[in-house]
Amino acid sequence: MAESFVKTMKRDYVSWMPKPDARPALQNLAIAFDHYNESHPHNALKYRSPREFRQQANSPTQA
């Protein structure tokens, strides 16, 4: 699981980020983590974002 996370972070975020020095790199990494944990679709969640998954899990089921 960790290897998949690292691969996704490198492919979808780090490779595209400007990294002129440590401060912007760390700031951009924090933004990437937030996006990954809130908006990025996850295979394990049937390609839903964690936010969508939580919303569906917390909503009452309709009969």
pLDDT of the residue at 48: 92
Q: How many CB atoms lie within 10 A of CB 59?
A: 8
pLDDT of the residue at 10: 84
pTM greater than 0.75 (yes/no): no
pLDDT of the residue at 62: 53
pLDDT of the residue at 24: 85
Token look-up 């400007």 returns 18
Going from the first residue of the chain to its last (63 residues), give the mean pLDDT of each consecutive group of 10, the final group possibly shorter.
82 81 86 87 90 89 57
End-to-end Cα distance, the chain: 35
Are 56 and 43 within 8 A, CB to CB?
A: no
| Per-position DSSP letters for 1-63, written without gaps between them | -HHHHHHHHHHHTGGGS--SSHHHHHHHHHHHHHHHHHTS-BGGGTSB-HHHHHHHHHSPPP-
